[in-house]
Structure 1
Amino acid sequence: MAFSADELRVLRRALANALHPAPLPDEDVQDCLRLAGSVDEAVGEAGRLRTFLLADLVRYRDALPGSAAGYLELLQDALAAGYDPCPEDLAALRAQRSRPVAAALLERCRVLAERSVRARLAGRAVSTTAPAPRSRLLALPGGRGAVAEPERPKAPAAPPRPVPTPERPAPKPSEVFPPRRRPAPPSQQRAAG
């Protein structure tokens, strides 16, 4: 996740206030709430993209062996995003292990699956779904309800600004990312002879 320069300034002020609590002007509180909303939206979008990627992975796995190249590519993307391979993935990779990429992925998935089983046996749950949504930021320490410090004059209160709401729903991953197309085979030139 990348922050803009304005968002970084808001984040810096919020962190400074967390370290040294002091009353915040209403404008700073609104900026923090907008930033929290943006972070929530980004987390939600990441969850939607992860769900889309996993559904695509299942679709390609179900279409094996004809979709082997696409499946292996999607599995690599999913593993890079923190996906915990399931028994169906291991079975699919065993069936495709004659391919060097599949053999390497099978070994990687075996290690990840073994690590996941050990973690479960140790009592630590390993999530295979998107993380739970983060709770909303409702108040900041030192915000509107805090008592003002005597040596620091309070800025004049600005009228509360409404937090912008999206005018349209967030697009689905299929609307943002078009389906993957296989490249056309290279044209073969015939030797004159």
Structure 2
Amino acid sequence: MPTPYGTRGGMAFSADELRVLRRALATVLLPTHPAVPAGTPPASPSGARDPEWVAEVQEYLRLAEDVDEAAREGGRLRAFLLADLARYRAALPGSAHGYLDQLHAALDAGYDPGPDDLAALRSLCALPASQGETRRRAALLRRCSHLAERSVRARLRALPGSRAAEGAQPPKPAPAPRPQPSRPDRPVPTPGEVFPPRRKPAPPPAARSA
């Protein structure tokens, strides 16, 4: 039976399972009788199905069932990993070392960090630690921030009617300002009103007495 290889959908097959898989692909791609459609069971002169073909079909079905079970097992492993990560996050800051290890494993498995992870990493970066541990926490925070931003952008592009999904459109030019209507009842100011004449300074008191 194939086993899940990690939590990202990978699978490990045995030698016998690979043999069955190769034979199934060869049957689909290169049928024995080109004139007969692929998947049609060869018939004997008496009209009975070929026992070898029936045995091969049974092997194909068993392999398909085993692949489905391995996929379900991979999903269970992923759910367990995320639940374990949540337990370590809830026990911070005492579980900092285990939480960082679990977060690394979850990120390698395709996990998208959420706001709780970003907040936890920021609080850990603010705590005193050794130089190597501080660099490790800062690097993990940068990685999670990048992944979270990429995930948000992907969700925005998937929204119907979003500009990212429809393609970036050039911005529309701003409408020209409307000319203000003239007011004929308001008189036009004269140059004297706009620029009143400057008054001459008054002479000093001594000059007036003389």
Q: TM-score, normalised by structure 2?
A: 0.57
**Does 2:28 align with 1:18?**
yes
1:77 & 1:57 partners in 2: Cα distance? 9
Pair 1:9-2:19 in alignment: yes
Partners of 2:154 and 2:27 lie apart in 1 by 38
Aligned residue among 151, 165, 172 for 1:116:
151
**Whose helix proportion is higher, 1 or 2?**
2
SS in 1 for 2:125: coil
Structure 1: 5+ residue runs without aligned partners? Answer: 125-193
The question of 1:74 aligning with 2:109 is answered: no
Structure-to-structure mapping, 1:57-136, within 5 angstroms: 57-98=85-126, 99-123=134-158
Aligned-residue offset at 1:74:
0.1
Match of 1:153 in 2: none
Instruction: Give 1:22 deviation, angstroms.
Output: 4.3
CA RMSD of aligned residues (A): 1.3
* Aligned mate of 1:29, from 44, 57, 67: 57
Deviation string, structure 1 residues 67-86 (Cα, Å, up to 9, x no partner): 00000000000000000000
> Which deviates more from structure 2 when the two are superposed, residues 98-107 or residues 49-58?
98-107
Distance in 2, matches of 1:54 and 1:66, equals: 19
- Aligned residue among 68, 85, 103 for 1:40: 68
* Aligned counterparts of 1:11 and 1:119: Cα–Cα separation in 2: 35
Between the two proteins, the alignment pairs up a number of residues equal to: 124
What letter matches 2:121 in structure 1?
L
Contact 1:96 1:103 in 2 (8 A): no
Q: 1:108-141: per-residue Cα shift (whole Å, max 9, x none)? A: 00110011011001107xxxxxxxxxxxxxxxxx
Query: CA 1:23 to 1:13, structure 2 compared with 1: closer, same or farther past 3 Å?
Result: farther
- CA distance in structure 2 between the aligned counterparts of 1:94 and 1:61, rounded to whole angstroms: 13
Structure 1 stretches of at least 4 aligned residues deviating more than 2 Å after TM superposition: none
Could you tell me which amino acid in structure 1 is paired with residue 105 of structure 2? D
Q: Partner of 1:91: helix, strand, or coil?
A: helix
Structure 2 CA distance for aligned equivalents of residues 59 and 22 of structure 1: 50
CA distance in 2, matches of 1:23, 1:15: 15
Letter in 2 for 1:37: E
Higher RCO structure, 1 or 2 (CA under 8 Å, sep 6+): 1
- Give the share of equivalent positions with the same residue, in percent: 65
